[in-house]
Structure 1
Amino acid sequence: MNNKQLEEQMIENYKREEHMMILVFAQWCINHDLDPAALYHSAYPDQPNNEALQQALDLTVPKEDAGEVPDETVLGVLSLFGNEELAFIITQEIDKRPRKNR
């Protein structure tokens, strides 16, 4: 494998992982009756609609059918991709919950 192929493979891997991060975020929001697009816009008000988020929303399932997405998981994957602003918004939402639901 030459350098160009390796670079292309690394980019594709990053994109796949980024899409998984977005899906984790979207499902976490659905599981907690939150609007993923609204939270994203709160974190990044100057950015247009996120096409990858819209695609991820098509892959989410109703919270009754979804497995649990722990708070630590969504915060961890957001942090891995440098989405600190969005992680901050998520933390605020977590803090709004009654103590027993945290």
Structure 2
Amino acid sequence: MSRKELEEQIIRNYQQDEQMMILVFAQWCVNHDLDPAALYLRAYPDQAANPSLMQAIELTVPKNEAGELADGTVLNVLSLFGNEELAFVVTEEISKRG
């Protein structure tokens, strides 16, 4: 594998992982009766129509069909990708429950 092919593969892997992170966030929102687009907009007001988020929302399942997603899991996944703003909004929503 050439250096260019390796770089392209790394980029593809990162993009797939990032899409999975967005799906985890969106499903967590659905599981807690929250609107993923609204929470995302609070964190990133300049990114109202994020195509990756819209795709992830389409892939979510109703909360009665979804497995449990722990709060810590979604926060860790968001932090792993440097989404501190979104993690902050999620933390605000968690604190409203308790």
SS at match of 1:92: helix
Gap regions ≥5 residues in structure 1: none
Please name the residue that 2:31 is paired with. 31
Please name the residue that 1:79 is paired with. 79
| Equivalent position amino acid for 1:7 in 2 | E
| Equivalent position amino acid for 1:75 in 2 | L
Please name the residue that 2:91 is paired with. 91
| Equivalent position amino acid for 1:2 in 2 | S
| Equivalent position amino acid for 1:61 in 2 | V
* Aligned positions, number: 98
SS at match of 2:21: helix
| Equivalent position amino acid for 2:95 in 1 | D
| Equivalent position amino acid for 1:18 in 2 | E
Q: Return the alpha-carbon distance in structure 2 between the equivalents of residues 58 and 75 of structure 1.
A: 21
TM-score scaled to structure 1, two decimals? 0.94
Please name the residue that 2:63 is paired with. 63
Please name the residue that 1:19 is paired with. 19
The ranges of structure 1 where at least 4 consecutive aligned residues each deviate by more than 3 angstroms after the TM superposition are none
Gap regions ≥5 residues in structure 2: none
| Equivalent position amino acid for 2:74 in 1 | V
| Equivalent position amino acid for 1:69 in 2 | L
Q: Return the alpha-carbon distance in structure 1 between the equivalents of residues 12 and 23 of structure 2.
A: 17
Identity %: 69
Alpha-carbon shift at residue 48 of structure 1 (Å): 3.2
Q: CA RMSD in A?
A: 0.6
SS at match of 2:13: helix
